[in-house]
Amino acid sequence: MSKLRAGPSDRRAAGDVREQLPAGVRMNTLQRVAATGGIAAIVLLLGVLIFDGISNSHEARDAIRSSHRMIEAAQATLQDITNAETGQRGYLITHDEDYLAPYHEALLAITADTSALRRLAGADSVHKRQLDSLSKRIDAKLSELAVTVALARSGGPDSARAEVLTNRGKVAMDDIRGVLGQLSAHQDALLAERIAASDKHYRVVTVTDVAGTSGAVLLALLLNMMLTRYADGQAVAARMLLAQNSELNDANKLLGEQTLELELQNHQLQEQTVELESQQIQLEEQASELEMQAEELVASVEELQLQSSVAEEARVRAEEATARAEDASQAKSLFLTTMSHELRTPLNAIGGYVDLLAMEIRGPLVEAQKDDLRRIKKSGQHLLSLINDILNLAKIESGQLDLRIRDVSLASVLENVEALVTPQFGAKGIKYVYPRCDASLRVRADSEKLQQILLNLLSNACKFTNSGGRVSVECDALSDAEADHRATVSLRVRDSGRGIASEKLEEIFEPFVQIDRHLTGSSQQGVGLGLAISRDLARSMSGDLMAESELGVGTTFVLTLPRGTIGVGAGVPAESVAAASSQRPS
Ligand code: ADP
């Protein structure tokens, strides 16, 4: 928008600006009318009045001039008649025709002057009557003059003299003077009136001129003052308008930018609308698909509800079965405990009597009897160890096993175990690689149970590894970097024996499970409880026992236990823990 061009909004703005101006610099309607037409009206009125006064003055001057001409014409007429009479008198005296020249000239002048009198008299009735009377008297005088001149020519001076002596000519002359005197008097009166009228018009014109000019000057000054204030106001308004105009320009520019931005947003909105429409179509398709799926789901839910009621029935039956199984397990554990106790008492007694006999307290024995007693003793010990295993398992499963958990030095435990298993490995020709454990490495465990687990694993390794094989124990301290309290220690018992099929790796931890029992020699016989007890013990101590194996290559049993406090020995207080009941189904 141009700064100088005023559009409708600018005019509105100008109106607003004028509203803000002080009352003194604004013009009301009357002042505007006065400013635009006041002086013109006054000048027009003045002109009309002066024109009227001048016109009247001109008329009065013409009338005065007419009066003067009338008086002059009357005097000229009297002079003409006097000149005619003078020529007549000269001729009558001299009888010389030359003296009649003024008489003839006067006759012509009298006609012209009386005509002028009539023209100047116009419609004035007084003058008309006076001129009629004057014409009659002039005719009478001219007739007396013509008669006397004719008598002088024809009869001589005496006959003319008689006529003159009749005094007719003198009377006519006196009448003429009288009429002309009246005419002049009337004209003098008119002249006086006209001069007075002329003076009056002159005064009116003068007063009107002075008053009108003064009024016009005053009004012009007033208007000048008003216009000056108005112009000042207009200048202020113009400045304010300019300021507002520049503000408007700024606003306009901003508006333009905002309009552009809005157009851009509009464009984006249109694109989004198109996208939304396509998404809506997709959604509608998905909605119809979902409806179909919902219908299918409703059908599935109904089916599931049906299955759920069936499952609920199954669950109730399973709970009942579990309760029965738990009861049976308790009964079995109680039975095993009782039976183990009942079996161990006579077995111990048998062992005692065998010892008595072997010591030959009852009398000397032959060598064959001594061999028999040794076999009886060995079988009794084997039986006792079986019974102990069963008793242990029963105790663990019934939650009656007492554990003394404390920080245990792995090195010392392995040293104890080593002393027990070394003779076995040596007898069978198996290379036993001694464990190299950090002397400060400790685990949280019951040391007897830990020893029991290790003995079981090592004796199994010895049992299922052929002569010339190799058995080793490795220690690993595993640490969970994020949670140190979950640090564990793992012990790997590795052998190069026959190995276990992968599908059997879990099965071997079940009680009374033995793989390839026929391959196991009579000296290696067990009942399949060692691993079951070992795993239960490991788990009771917050650890675990797992197996890794490859057929024909060897087996590794991995025992994990919580790590103990480094460098702290037996001084760490022991926890007394009752082993949790085994989760294994009986
Ligand atoms: P037992 O040794 O008294 O038979 P275990 O529970 O200790 O009972 O072992 C269960 C079975 O697991 C064994 O009979 C054997 O078949 C298998 N087994 C255990 N340790 C090994 C091993 N180191 N190598 C191969 N097989 C093994």
Question: pLDDT band at residue 585, thresholds of 50, 70 and 90?
Answer: very low
Q: How many residues does the chain have?
A: 586
CB-based contact 490:558 (threshold 8 Å): yes
- Compare 100 and 26 and report the one with higher pLDDT: 100
Question: pLDDT band at residue 58, thresholds of 50, 70 and 90?
Answer: confident
Q: Which atom of ligand 1 is nearest to the CA of 516?
A: 16
Give the mean model confidence (pLDDT) for residues 83-87: 90
- What's 522's DSSP letter? G
Question: d(Cα 217, Cα 210) in Å, to the nearest integer?
Answer: 10
Chain centre to alpha carbon of residue 473? 74
Strand order from edge to edge, sheet including 442-445? 442-445, 402-409, 575-578
Question: d(Cα 517, Cα 525) in Å, to the nearest integer?
Answer: 8
Which residue owns the Cα nearest ligand 1 atom 21? 460
Tell me: pLDDT of 223 over 90: no
CA 531 / ligand 1 centre spacing (Å): 7
- The SS3 of residue 562 is strand
Question: d(Cα 191, Cα 180) in Å, to the nearest integer?
Answer: 16
CA 514 / ligand 1 centre spacing (Å): 6
Pairing of strands 554-562, 544-550: antiparallel
- 536-573 pLDDT tens trace: 999 999 999 999 999 999 999 999 999 987 644 443 44
Which residue owns the Cα nearest ligand 1 atom 3? 526
CA separation, residue 93 to residues 87, 172, 282 (Å): 10, 21, 157
Write down the pLDDT at residue 216. Answer: 76
Tell the CATH topology of 402-583.
Heat Shock Protein 90 (3.30.565)
CA angle 95, 97, 103 (to 5 degrees): 105
Write down the pLDDT at residue 44. Answer: 84
> Helix crossing, 168-358 with 125-155: angle to 10°?
150
Which residue owns the Cα nearest ligand 1 atom 14? 514
Q: How many CB atoms lie within 10 A of CB 353?
A: 13
CA 464 / ligand 1 centre spacing (Å): 7
Q: Which atom of ligand 1 is nearest to the CA of 499?
A: 25
Looking at this protein, which amino acid is placed at residue 15?
G
Pocket mutation for ligand 1, best pick of 383, 457, 460 (most atoms within 8 Å of C-beta): 460
CA 529 / ligand 1 centre spacing (Å): 9
Write down the pLDDT at residue 487. Answer: 87
To the nearest 10°, the Cα dihedral for 297, 303, 308, 314? -150
Q: How many CB atoms lie within 10 A of CB 52?
A: 14
Write down the pLDDT at residue 518. Answer: 60
CA 460 / ligand 1 centre spacing (Å): 6
- The SS3 of residue 404 is strand
**DSSP conformation letters of 237-288:** HHHHHHHHHHHHHHHHHHHHHHHHHHHHHHHHHHHHHHHHHHHHHHHHHHHH
Write down the pLDDT at residue 207. Answer: 86
Question: d(Cα 191, Cα 64) in Å, to the nearest integer?
Answer: 6
Share of the chain above pLDDT 70, in %: 89
Tell me: pLDDT of 430 over 50: yes
Instruction: State both tokens at 410.
Output: 């792995």
CA 578 / ligand 1 centre spacing (Å): 27
CA 135 / ligand 1 centre spacing (Å): 194
CA 581 / ligand 1 centre spacing (Å): 23
- 298-346 pLDDT tens trace: 998 899 889 889 989 999 999 999 898 888 877 877 777 787 778 888 8
The mean of the pLDDT values for the chain is: 84
- Compare 16 and 106 and report the one with higher pLDDT: 106
Q: Which atom of ligand 1 is nearest to the CA of 509?
A: 6
List of residues 6+ apart from 345 with CB closer than 8 A: none
CA 328 / ligand 1 centre spacing (Å): 28
CA angle 491, 492, 493 (to 5 degrees): 120
Q: Which residue has the tokens 């290696």?
A: 524
Pocket, ligand 1, Cβ cutoff 6 A:
456, 460-461, 464, 495, 497-498, 500, 508, 513-516, 526-532, 555
Pairing of strands 431-433, 470-478: parallel
Q: Which atom of ligand 1 is nearest to the CA of 531?
A: 6
Pocket mutation for ligand 1, best pick of 514, 516, 529, 557 (most atoms within 8 Å of C-beta): 514
Handedness of CA 177, 180, 186, 188 (dihedral sign): negative
Question: d(Cα 169, Cα 146) in Å, to the nearest integer?
Answer: 11
CA 387 / ligand 1 centre spacing (Å): 18
- The SS3 of residue 563 is strand
CA 508 / ligand 1 centre spacing (Å): 7
Question: pLDDT band at residue 495, thresholds of 50, 70 and 90?
Answer: very high
Pairing of strands 554-562, 442-445: unpaired
Write down the pLDDT at residue 217. Answer: 82
- 377-415 pLDDT tens trace: 888 888 888 888 888 887 787 777 888 999 999 999 999
Write down the pLDDT at residue 547. Answer: 97
Q: Which atom of ligand 1 is nearest to the CA of 514?
A: 14
Tell me: pLDDT of 524 over 60: no
Question: d(Cα 524, Cα 516) in Å, to the nearest integer?
Answer: 12
Write down the pLDDT at residue 540. Answer: 93
Give the mean model confidence (pLDDT) for residues 505-514: 91
Question: pLDDT band at residue 520, thresholds of 50, 70 and 90?
Answer: low
CB-based contact 72:187 (threshold 8 Å): no
CB-based contact 440:406 (threshold 8 Å): no
Which residue owns the Cα nearest ligand 1 atom 13? 514
Question: d(Cα 68, Cα 529) in Å, to the nearest integer?
Answer: 180
Of 418, 417, 346, 421, nearest to 384 (Cα)?
A: 346
